[in-house]
Amino acid sequence: MRKIWLDSRYLYPLIFILIAMLSSCKATKFKIENKPLTKHFEINPIFLESHTGLMVYDPVSNTNIFEYNSHKHFTPASNTKLLTYLAALIMMGDSLPAIQYCIVNDHFYFAGTGDPTLLYENFGYATTLNFLSEQKAPLVYVEKSMEDKRFGPGWAWDDYPYYYSAEKSTFPIYGNMVQIKKDRNSTDIHLLPKEFEILIQDMKDSLDIEPLIRREEFNNIFFINQIDSALLIQESIPFRYSTELFVSLLADTLKKPINLASQFPECEKLYYYAVPSDSVYKHILVESDNFLAEQLLLVISNQLGDTLSSRKVIEHLINGELSELNEEINWVDGSGLSRYNQVTPNGMVNILRRIYKKVPREKLFDLMPESGNSGTMENSFINLKGKIHAKTGSMSHVYNLSGFLETNSGNTLIFSFMNNNFTISFNDLKTEMERVLSVFVNN
């Protein structure tokens, strides 16, 4: 048999042409109104208003079935919580450590671990309180060292009075927020914790129609405008955290005195575990709770030393298990409030792939918002109801969706659809995103 040798001068161009043909086939498989999906992104006025990227991956065939701007970086907003969740899966157990403690010379020394659940509205009365109440020895609180500031890097400083921007701390209580409530047809204001009631003042010089609640930036002085007694008020306002305030609130709750110490004595420190980890993860993912996400990174950092530090957790993972994603992500906080976070759609899909391998599918989908049914997607993507289980990520001019698509043929796809810098309405953008995702669901 005669052998045919192909000159390398012709071989490389042929390989390039073949790759281009295969890529073209992959791209033209998905169409909207008989136009290739890539072309749809390039000419659609909605996406022309936005910096848009999409990656869709098939975990069965281990192939990327569609890519558009998938290696460009985007502000992920709350999609960052998927990174925090993955960090917890890698480094945490089934329950969160609530306190660190030891008993020395008939004194019970204890410190916080960053656990955010104590008397937080989503978790109610924690067993941590029972554990502390049952101690016969005098209680001594040790303020643990924390590297983090009260706010994360790149957070908006003027968000301090809003519920989504509660201060970080080593031992949160009441979610580090004050619940302010007023019933309709009443002028009575109720605060939780009640200790703050003496710190609320009337503000009668505003002409705002809506009730206006403010807090001094560096003090726990609250102002409320009661323009219309018929209005209902249900607000959560972060309070200014301090060690002294925490001890006062906890002592009042326990009805026991608590002393302060600068450090633990020489002892073998133990952990008390209170809350199942999954219950915290679900609130972070389904309800997109920023406070829980930020505190979770601090809880994880207990694994790395005595000082609570979000940065140490991030560096530990980026230099270790997630090192191959180093070029794909810039990760600075737990919640995604910072615009310093940057992630590519390809990087986000790789994060989701790791999560998908670690968590059983049914359990994972229960922890995620579901299109048309639950959490931050309850009223979105109604035409794909039940077909999407994904984390939303939104802030001004940012809307992202990363998670899992269930196709009509029974397959599960992993995707990341990211949109930044748009000026159109969120609803218009979501409508067009739904059209695009429908192509994969119906294919």
Residue 30 phi/psi, 5° resolution? Answer: -105, 120
Cα(161)–Cα(88) distance, rounded to whole angstroms? 28
Is the omega angle on the peptide bond into residue 193 within 30 degrees of 0, that is, cis?
A: yes
DSSP label of 387: T
Q: What average pLDDT score do residues 321-327 get? A: 94
From residue 316, how far is each of 94, 293, 302 by CA, in Å?
Answer: 21, 18, 13
Cα(412)–Cα(441) distance, rounded to whole angstroms? 9
pTM for this entry: 0.90
User: How do strand 412-420 and strand 51-58 relate by DSSP bridges?
Assistant: antiparallel
Got the DSSP string for 246-264?
HHHHHHHHHTS-EEEESSP
Could you tell me the pLDDT band of residue 15, with boundaries at 50, 70 and 90?
very low
Could you tell me the pLDDT band of residue 4, with boundaries at 50, 70 and 90?
very low
Share above pLDDT 70 across residues of the chain, in percent, rounded to a whole number: 90
Cβ neighbours of 351 (radius 10 Å): 25
Cα(240)–Cα(339) distance, rounded to whole angstroms? 24
Boundaries of every domain in the chain: 32-85+296-442, 97-275
Q: What is the mean pLDDT of the chain?
A: 90
CB proximity list for 286: less than 8 A, separation 6 or greater: 367, 368, 369, 374, 375, 376
Q: Does an H or E element contain 427, and which?
A: helix 426-442
Q: What is the reported pLDDT for 227?
A: 59
Tens digit of each residue's pLDDT (9 = 90 or more) over 126-180: 789 999 999 999 999 999 999 999 999 999 989 999 999 999 999 999 999 999 8
**Is 32-85+296-442 in CATH node 3.40.50.12160?**
no
**Lowest-pLDDT range, 130-134, 163-167, 204-208, 333-337?**
204-208
Could you tell me the pLDDT band of residue 3, with boundaries at 50, 70 and 90?
very low
Q: Higher pLDDT residue, 197 or 236? A: 236
The pair of three-digit structure tokens given for residue 2, joined into one six-digit string: 């005669």
Could you tell me the pLDDT band of residue 331, with boundaries at 50, 70 and 90?
very high
**Lowest-pLDDT range, 120-124, 250-254, 359-363?**
120-124
Whether pLDDT at 402 is above 60: yes
Q: What is the reported pLDDT for 204?
A: 56
